[in-house]
Amino acid sequence: MKSIVIHAAKDLRIEDREEAQPGPGEVQIRLSTGGICGSDLHYFNHGGFGPVHLKEPMILGHEVSGHITALGAGVSGLEPGQLVAVSPSRPCRKCRFCDEGMHNQCLNMRFYGSAMPFPHIQGAFRQVLVAEAGQCTPADGLSAGEAAMAEPLSVCLHATRKAGDMMGKSVLVTGCGPIGILCILAARRAGADLIVATDLSEFTLAKAREAGADLALNMADDPSGLDRFMPHKGTFDVLYECSGAAPALAAGISSMRPGGTILQLGLGGDMSLPMMAITAKELSLKGSFRFHEEFPVAVSLMQKGLINVKPFITQTFPLEDAVAAFEIAGDRSQAVKAQIAFA
Q: Are residues 274 and 250 part of one domain?
A: yes
Same domain as 329, residue 231: no
Q: Is the CB of residue 182 less than 8 Å from the CB of residue 150? A: no
196 and 108 assigned to the same domain: no
Given a contact cutoff of 8 angstroms between Cβ atoms, the answer to whether 251 and 227 are in contact is no
- The DSSP-derived string for 15-39 is EE-PPP---TTEEEEEEEEEEPPHH
Is there a single domain that holds both residue 135 and residue 25?
yes
294 assigned to some structural domain: no
Q: Residue 173 belongs to what H/E stretch?
A: strand 170-174
205-237 residue pLDDT tens: 999 999 999 999 999 999 999 999 999 999 999
* Same domain for 133 and 8: yes
Looking at the fold, whether 17 and 87 belong to one and the same domain comes out as yes
Question: Does residue 203 lie within any of the structural domains?
Answer: yes
Q: Under DSSP, is residue 146 helix (H, G, I), strand (E, B) or coil?
A: helix
68 φ/ψ sector (left φ>0, alpha ψ -120 to 50, else beta): beta
Q: Report the CATH number at residue 233.
A: 3.40.50.720
Task: Tell me which residue range forms the domain holding 35.
Answer: 2-149+309-341
pLDDT band for position 50 (cuts 50, 70, 90): confident
Considering the domain architecture, whether residues 31 and 107 belong to the same structural domain is answered as yes
Residue 21's Cβ-side half-sphere holds a number of Cα atoms within 13 Å equal to 2
Exposure string of 110-146, with b = 16+ CB inside 10 Å and e = fewer, is ebbbbbeeeebbbbbbbbbbbbbbebbbbbeebbbbb
> How many residues does the structure list for the chain?
343
Q: Are 174 and 135 found together in one domain?
A: no
In-domain check, residue 300: no
Q: Which amino acid is at 215?
A: L
Q: Is residue 267 part of a domain?
A: yes
Residue 298, domain member (yes or no)? no
Number of domains in the chain: 2
Give the per-residue pLDDT at 259. 97
Determine, yes or no, domain membership for 299.
no
Domain co-membership, 206 together with 276:
yes
* Domain assignment of residue 292, yes or no: no
Residues 146-171: pLDDT tens digits? Answer: 999 999 999 999 999 999 999 999 99
Pick from 78, 58, 2, 77: nearest CA to 322? 2
**pLDDT band at 308, cuts 50/70/90?**
very high
Q: pLDDT band at 343, cuts 50/70/90?
A: confident
- Give mean pLDDT, residues 298-313: 98
For residue 318, is the peptide bond before it cis, meaning its omega torsion is within 30 degrees of 0? no
User: Same structural domain for residues 92 and 39?
Assistant: yes
Alpha-carbon span 3 to 272, nearest angstrom: 39
| Residue 19 sits in the same domain as residue 122 | yes
* Residue 264 and residue 189 in one domain: yes
Judge whether 297 lies within some domain.
Answer: no
